Amino acid sequence: MKKLMFVALLSAAMFIIGCGGAVELDAPEIDTVIMGDDYVTVGWIVDTAVEDDADFSGYNVYVYTDTTDLMNENGEDLNKDNATVITGNTYTIEDLDDTLVYYIQVRTVNVDDKVGSYNLDVPFVEASPRPEFTATVKFELNTPGVDDSCAIRFSDATVMYDSAMVSGGADMFVDYWTVVEDTTAFDSPSHSLEWGTGARVTAFVNMGQMEFDDLYEVTTEPNDTAYVGITIGDLVVAKTEDGNYAKIHVDALDDSTDYTVTITYAYQNIPDYPFFSKGINKNED
């Protein structure tokens, strides 16, 4: 009888000692958000103390259109986006809708597949895909045969006649004049002397010589300026009458032969949403 009691107590002690399981580890801080046309890539700061822990397995990424569920400390109740645990420190979320804002969170997973809580400093980041286009647009020179492709609609890069700006919903036309000096400008359709009645209103601000990816967030608002002069290498921020932002890079400009400007631009399909990407890798400074 004593022997049976000893075995039972030994078994119970082994169960108590072994049932604790792996510890839940701290969540990383997201520091990179890159937005594409239908995807978002996030990156996070690696905590070597966490990754070197014997209980560390990897990370899960959660993507929601509402923040309520993400603020739940119990990560077991969330639906992860990744099919398998992530062992690196970046992840791309694909097939996103550019008319929605997404809230993204990263949590740590231990070797028992238990999910830890969210990061207290950066519980989540928000992001929305933005379409990116390249287009070549002619100058409006008020010359027969030249104005056929001088206006553009940002949402889908449709290029059109200046006379079609009202019916076609153009957001910008390329103007050119020789008063004082030769000037090429991005102009609001509403500013056209001939075709502006009823046309859409767009405001601009020229950020100067910048690379396309140098601007991740609109901090200088386009004002009531109906047009801005441009040159090769300029980055212009436009805001449509619907509140949609576009960042436009002047890739090439021919003001002597073909009278065209080639642009690369990103169009943010969420009104009054100033982000193209944000939180870009703080550790690279």
Residue 263 has pLDDT above 50, yes or no: yes
| Cβ atoms of residues 199 and 189 within 8 Å | yes
| Residue 15 pLDDT > 60 | no
Averaged pLDDT, 130-139: 96
Confidence of residue 22 (pLDDT cuts 50, 70, 90): confident
How buried is residue 157: exposed, middle or buried, by Cβ count under 10 Å (0-12/13-18/19+)? middle
**Domains of the chain, each with CATH number or no CATH:** 21-129 (2.60.40.10), 132-273 (no CATH)
* Nearest one of 88, 95, 89, 116 to 39, comparing CA atoms: 95
Distance, in Å, from the CA atom of 222 to the CA atom of 145, rounded to the nearest integer, reads 32
Q: What is the pLDDT of residues 63-88, one digit of tens each?
A: 999 999 999 988 888 999 999 999 99
pLDDT reported for residue 9: 40
Q: What's the pTM?
A: 0.84
Report the range of poorest mean pLDDT among 20-24, 109-113, 206-210, 224-228. Answer: 20-24
Closest Cα partner for 205 from 229, 173, 175, 169? 229
Strand 151-153 and strand 30-35: pairing? unpaired
Element (H, E) at 16: helix 2-18
3-state secondary structure of 203: strand
* Contact (Cβ atoms closer than 8 angstroms) between residue 74 and residue 80: no
Average pLDDT over every residue of 38-50: 96
pLDDT of 4 over the 70 cut: no
Percent of the chain residues past pLDDT 90, beyond the cut? 77
Q: Does residue 40 have a pLDDT over 90?
A: yes
Q: Which residues pair with 249 in a beta bridge?
A: 235, 264
Residue 168 is inside which H or E element, if any?
A: helix 165-168
Which of 104-108, 219-223, 281-285 is the most confident on average? 104-108
- CB count in 10 Å sphere of residue 35: 23
Stretch 197-202: mean pLDDT: 97
Number of residues that this document lists for the chain: 285
Say which amino acid occupies 173. F
Both tokens of residue 103? 């809230």
Confidence at residue 32, expressed as pLDDT on a 0 to 100 scale:
92
Angle at 19 between CA 87 and CA 111, to 5 degrees: 5
Residues 191-217: what's their mean pLDDT? 95
- How far, rounded to the nearest angstrom, does the alpha carbon of residue 136 sit from its chain's CA centroid? 24
pLDDT at 264 over 70: yes
**pLDDT level of residue 224 (50, 70, 90 thresholds):** confident
Provide the CA 276 distance to its chain's centre, in angstroms: 4
Between residues 5 and 20, the one the model is more confident about = 20
Average pLDDT of the segment spanning 200-217 = 95
Q: What is the mean pLDDT of residues 126-145?
A: 88
Residue 134 phi, psi (nearest 5): -125, 135
Element (H, E) at 64: strand 56-64
CA distance 20 to 22: 7
HSE-up (13 A, CA, CB side) for residue 33: 23
> pLDDT at residue 123 above 90?
yes
Q: What percent of the chain is predicted at pLDDT more than 70?
A: 87
pLDDT value of residue 279: 60
